[in-house]
Structure 1
Amino acid sequence: MANLREIEAFLNEQLRIAEIPDYSGAVNGLQLDGAGDVRKVIAAVDASLPVVEKAVAAGGDLLIVHHGMFWQGTQPLVGPFFRKIKCAMDAGMAIYSAHLPLDVHPEWGNNACLVRDLGIEPTGTFLGSKGVDIGIVGTVDTTREALARKLEAVVGGAVHVCPGGSEAVRRIGICSGGAGSEVGEAAKCGVDTFITGEGPHWSYPLAEELGINLFYGGHYATETFGVRALSEVLRSRFGVAAEFIDHPTGL
């Protein structure tokens, strides 16, 4: 058993919640208070109603997500939103969310985990947002085909490839989630291959014009790593049980 306040303070400090700017609807940090004692941590990508229901059924005292409850902004406590809040509150389950603070974490972040699992040697960061670089640049010696197969194995699903660059892959930029619209910025950084989750239609033809490879590994699939890592850190540090709830969107 662990104390919710101690876990919250640890996460706030380690993820630099107060320092890293984000979209206003992210509302990073503790979004819903809980009963106070944490025996089991549940990790998931989205704080959707089905996920909250699954987390309560699994006996979770704390749900940690990447996309929190307020992405649509201020809304009345009615319908599914009310049921979601009521479900968690009736169970005494707290909800904690970390969006960009988790993306950029050098050890537990989505991008750091992807770089490590893909065997890429990190050399720097890129894609600055309000003074904070979100993506990671690294080097590798492989082929486009081999990298696609490796990425499929890492994310556990299909990868959509725009073969706009060379077959030989040497310098890679990675930014999980929906960063496909940043393909132009990635090209300016000198990468020959850009890996992200998803992007708008125009990002594919633009990658071809710019002469770089563009890999879409899935928004959801590329953002399961950070919350998984956090749950394992909390398991080790605080002696709590931990479980990941997989609720893919297919996007």
Structure 2
Amino acid sequence: MDIQEFDAWASALLDIPRFAKVDDSLNGLQVGRSGGPVEKVAFAVDACLESIRRAREAGAQALFVHHGLFWGKPVAITGGMRRRVAELLAADMALYACHLPLDAHPELGNNAVLARMLGLSDIQPFGEYHGVKLGLKGRLEPALSLDEAQRRVLPAGDAPRALLPFGPKSITTAAVVSGGAAFESLQAIAEGLDLYVTGEPSHSVYHAAMEAGLNFIAAGHYATETHGVKAVAERAARELGLRTVFIEYPTGL
């Protein structure tokens, strides 16, 4: 397949047009290539220079990322941006970005995978952002301890970026919103949930969580957003017969 065919497949799969009015990210094909078949696609969280270089070294014709280069306003192609674009062009490698659609996808999305890892049942949309619910909430049966919840959502041996153990010791309800969504914890409080899982913490919600009795796990912005790109990579390999590689480049945040 060529890059236009990959674009059509990914756009339909991830329902990219639905998010055009709510996502600052320029979702879809951000940098094209001169032509020829796409046989190998690299997947990464961020379109940083190191991810681009590693994708080139892996022999990929395209790089699929959650965080692309272009975010809702004109940007000068200078400095670090120039180096990234130059590396893509030198490799004749396309760049494909998918931000909020990859958070919200009901099967392949970051939050769908987190919900399965946590073991949620009776799953429903959660976490409204500009009229679109990006996260998920549900029940935990049997109930979990906070320690067990951490083990399920954190990479092996990893520690949370923040842990606010203010809620029930026996957790029966929870919500997940990947990435930088600390303030959606206020929606979890409003809905009376026991646990909220996101990527990043915020000082601004600490007292609200404590006073409301909410458990809060900040499992890492990067860590919570590896799941969607990996799931799309698996689907692309299975449905399209593409060779895929995941570029692991954690920020620790």
Q: TM-score, normalised by structure 2?
A: 0.93
Partner of residue 222, structure 2: 220
- Counterpart residue number, 1:208: 210
Paired position in structure 1 for 2:200? 198
User: Post-superposition shift, 1:129?
Assistant: 1.9
Report the equivalent of 1:18: 17
Give the equivalent residue in structure 2 for 1:34. Answer: 33
SS at match of 1:202: helix
The sequence identity of aligned pairs, in percent, is 38
Per-residue Cα deviation, 1:187-221 (whole angstroms, up to 9, x for no partner): 11221100000032122222111111000000000
Change (3 A) 1:95 1:84: same
Is residue 237 from structure 1 mapped to residue 228 from structure 2 by the alignment? no
**What is the aligned partner in structure 2 of residue 6 from structure 1?**
5
CA contact (8 A) 2:26 2:72 kept: no
Q: What letter matches 1:163 in structure 2?
A: P
Looking at structure 2, the residues matched to 117 and 149 of structure 1 have their Cα atoms a distance apart, in angstroms, of 10
1:184–1:210 Cα contact (<8 Å) kept: no
TM-aligned CA deviation for residue 153 of structure 1: 4.1
The corresponding residue for 1:85 is: 85
3-state SS of paired residue (2:221): coil
> Following the alignment from structure 2 to structure 1, what is the Cα–Cα distance between the partners of residues 169 and 239?
43
User: Deviation of residue 35 (structure 1)?
Assistant: 3.6
> Which whole-Å CA distance do the structure 2 matches of 1:169 and 1:108 have between them?
25
* Deviating more after overlay: 68-77 vs 116-125: 68-77
1:35 and 1:110 map into 2 onto residues whose CA distance is 31
CA distance in structure 1 between the partners assigned to 2:151 and 2:16 by the alignment:
35
Matches within 5 A, 1:58-137: 58-71=58-71, 73-137=73-137
| Aligned CA distance change for structure 1 residues 99 and 215 (closer, same or farther; 3 Å) | same
Note if contact 1:122-1:136 (Cα within 8 Å) is conserved in structure 2: no
1:179 counterpart residue number? 181
User: Retained in 2: the 8 A contact 1:204–1:214?
Assistant: no
Q: Which runs of 4+ in 1 moved over 6 A?
A: none
The 2-side partners of 1:5 and 1:27 are apart by: 16
For residues 149-172 of structure 1, the C-alpha deviation after alignment (integer angstroms, 9 at most, x for no partner) is 222246x62123101111110000
Q: Secondary structure of the residue that 1:203 maps to in structure 2?
A: helix
Q: In structure 1, what is the Cα distance between the partners aligned to 2:87 and 2:22?
A: 27
Unpaired runs of 5+ in structure 1? Answer: none
AA matched with 1:105: H
Q: Which secondary structure state, in structure 1, belongs to the residue aligned with residue 114 of structure 2? A: helix
Partners of 1:150 and 1:237 in 2: CA distance = 29
For residues 55-102 of structure 1, give each alpha carbon's deviation from its aligned partner in whole angstroms, at most 9, with x where no partner exists.
Answer: 111111110000010248432212221111011111111011011011
Alignment of 1:159-174 (within 5 A): 159=160, 160-174=162-176
Q: Distance in 2 between matches of 1:248 and 1:122?
A: 32
Cα distance change on mapping 1:78 and 1:153 into 2, 3 Å: closer
Does structure 1 retain, via aligned residues, the 8 Å contact 2:110–2:225? yes
Secondary structure, in 3 states, of the residue corresponding to 2:17?
A: coil
C-alpha contact (below 8 Å) 2:41/2:242 kept by paired residues:
yes
Contact kept, 8 Å, 1:176 with 1:197, in 2: the verdict is yes
1:151-166 paired onto structure 2 within 5 Å: 151-153=153-155, 157-159=158-160, 160-166=162-168
CA distance in 2, matches of 1:203, 1:109: 25
